[in-house]
Amino acid sequence: MTAISLLELTWPAAAALPNDTLGLIPLGAIEQHGPHLPLGTDLLIARALARQVAELLSRPVLISPCPTAGLSTHHLAFPGTVSLQPAALVAILDDIVDGYHRMGVTGIAIFSAHGGNFAFLAEYEHDRDVAAFSDRGRYFSTMTDAARATGLDIPSTDEHAGALETSQALAFFPELVGDHASVQGFVDAFDGWEEELFEHGIQVLSDQGVLGDPQAATATAGHAINTALSQMLADGVREELK
């Protein structure tokens, strides 16, 4: 259907939004993504996914800008990372939701393209017309299944700046993807590696800041991943905001 950018509206246009308009709030992060992807990778992916999700829905969709950062404490060892306090992200989301309500937009969905925001979204509370997608496992399994269907061999550790996200970037913003032909990421999983990641930081697993194997990334896999994620998120919006 129609994707409407909140940033591009005039106030009369905001006042005249159709009664069945849905609100969409994409989240990302500003954090290191290895030596080959930009700090804003998650924000750029979230913004592009939001437009694809809107195109799959039968109602007009008002898309807010992404908040300027996310929850990224496990990436702070690397220069450039910006991490919000959880209370700050709550305040930002509350204010965007309140702004939507003042425009008469009452069905609102929130999703994240950054894995570190999922636990936060599972606990975020607002009015009953706000649906937050917080199933991190499903998000990554959707990505992995789509990539494997194109022939990629995806290790279980591929969660950050590896083949999955690098493929997404090659599909969405190839001009910002650097040389990754020799980038080595963390691929040898062990019991408790994810707990180690969130407790002590990604640098204990990879001095490159990469989980997975970006060398295998392809734009073809990226298109498949982005399509699968958009469809999964659109299905969730339909189910939660009937």
CA–CA gap between residue 181 and residue 171 (Å, rounded):
17
Q: Residue 187 in contact with residue 161, Cβ under 8 Å? A: no
Q: What is the pTM of this model?
A: 0.96
Tens of pLDDT, residue by residue over 97-119, are 999 999 999 899 999 999 999 99
Which residues of the chain fall short of a pLDDT of 50? none
Which domains are seen in the chain, by residue range?
3-240 (3.40.50.10310)
Q: Which residues pair with 62 in a beta bridge?
A: 4, 23
Give 185-188 contacts, CB < 8 A, sequence gap 24+.
Answer: 185/34, 185/157, 185/158, 185/161, 185/210, 185/211, 185/212, 185/213, 185/214, 186/157, 186/210, 186/211, 186/212, 187/155, 187/157, 187/158, 187/212, 187/213, 188/157
What pLDDT does residue 173 have? 98
What pLDDT does residue 126 have? 78
Q: Residue 178 in contact with residue 38, Cβ under 8 Å? A: no
- Computed on alpha carbons and rounded to an integer, the radius of gyration of the chain in Å comes to 18
Q: Residue 30 in contact with residue 68, Cβ under 8 Å? A: yes
What pLDDT does residue 127 have? 72
What pLDDT does residue 1 have? 65
What pLDDT does residue 2 have? 85
What pLDDT does residue 113 have? 98
**CA of residue 160 relative to chain centroid, distance:** 11
